[in-house]
Amino acid sequence: MNPIWENTFKTTAFDVDANNRLRVNRIFDYFQDAASYDAERRGFGYNEFNLKGLLWVLSWVKFEFLSYPKFMDEIKIQTWGKKQHKLYSMRDVLMFNSKDEIIIKGTSAWLLLDSKSLRPK
């Protein structure tokens, strides 16, 4: 299995702000979706863990914005899990433009919690 999950798509009118830049909250949405799809294909996503009474919680995220996509830009997202750091599952993510140039890069930390007690697992 490829360790990197990847998806390519075009931005929509709902994704951009009045300045025709991809809104930051939509960038977070895309990156969180990418993490979710990757976790699902690896067998530790929502569908699998929900049955076990577990849930993923995004603890923190750090991004570096090199440029912003605009309306109808084709972008590619890549994400992959990294090693565990204490209680956190670390994940990196990259966003590319249509020229395959990195435009946004980031790292996130996720906690696995018991859905009833909300304590880390």
Distances (CA, A) of 96 to 19, 23, 74: 20, 16, 9
Among 13, 1, 90, residue whose Cα is nearest residue 41: 1
Structural domains of the chain in order of their starting residue, each with its CATH number: 5-114 (3.10.129.10)
Entry pTM: 0.89
Among 110, 81, 106, residue whose Cα is nearest residue 94: 106
Position 93 pLDDT exceeds 90 = yes
Among 36, 40, 20, 18, residue whose Cα is nearest residue 28: 36
Model confidence pLDDT, tens digit, residues 21-46: 999 999 999 999 999 999 999 998 98
The confidence band for 102, taking pLDDT boundaries of 50, 70 and 90, is very high
Contact status, residue 103 vs residue 97, Cβ threshold 8 Å: yes
